[in-house]
Amino acid sequence: MAADKPTPPTPPVASTPARRAALARRIRFFVAATITYNVIEAVVALAEGARVSSTALIGFGLDSVIEVSSAAAVAWQFAGRDPKAREPVALRLIALSFFGLAGYVTVDAVRSLLGIGEPEPSTIGLVLAGVSLVVMPVLSYAQRRAGRELGSRSAVADSKQTLLCTYLSAVLLGGLALNSAFGWSWADPLAGLVIAGVAVREGLEAWRGQTCCRPPLLAADQQGCADDCCDD
């Protein structure tokens, strides 16, 4: 008796127009939420950083401005009738924002290591970093899931930008806490250099379109991603 033919994999939900439209609306919502939060974050961080002469807080605030540019690129993409056609430009904008972030963090870290500026302790900065450490992973995870299902490389790349902000929040929180408790001003810039390296890598991936995103209509003949970067 001939062996039974294997059952073909079930096409993804995102292969239907209705599901794709719902995912696009979801991504627009997360992008809007990210932009709103980052604007508030930037205003608070820049104002407080100027008050206490904290290069870390000012750098964090400028990072929030770059985050807004990345989210705005995805918002622009999904505002058009054919988001896929706009995706290459959106990816380039996201990549450039990564490179800009890495450049500033590197310069800021070197300045701090050279002893330029002596930041004062900041309770507001500690609270801001703690809140961002909670909010940013949630936004990043939700947008990343929707972007992967929809097959949008730019949405996934922007979610990585948001996740990078989480790392910077942890760096900021650690740096401010160590400076406040022990006066260790060197801890923040050293960690910042690591974050800058990660930003360069993510920028290169976005520029090349390598964002661990599965094209939605190809899932019927390939199950999952080739590596573990698509694991939730």
| pTM listed for this prediction | 0.67
Q: Tell me which of 9 and 116 has the higher pLDDT.
A: 116
Is 11 a member of any domain?
Answer: no
Model pLDDT, residue 149: 84
Give the CATH number of the domain where residue 41 resides.
Answer: 1.20.1510
Give the burial class of 222: count Cβ atoms within 10 A of its Cβ; 0-12 exposed, 13-18 middle, 19 or more buried: exposed
How many folded domains does the chain comprise? 1
Is 1 a member of any domain?
Answer: no
Is 215 a member of any domain?
Answer: no
Residue 224 above 50 pLDDT?
no
CA proximity to 68, closest of 41, 106, 88, 108: 41
Query: Cα separation of 81 and 101, whole Å?
Result: 30
Is 51 a member of any domain?
Answer: yes
Query: Cα separation of 66 and 141, whole Å?
Result: 19
> Measured between alpha carbons, how far is residue 173 from residues 56, 64, 126, 203 in Å?
10, 15, 6, 24
Asked if 15 and 9 touch (Cβ cutoff 8 Å), the reply is no
- How confident is the model over 46-67, as pLDDT tens digits? 999 889 878 788 878 877 887 7
Give the domain extent around 69: 16-208
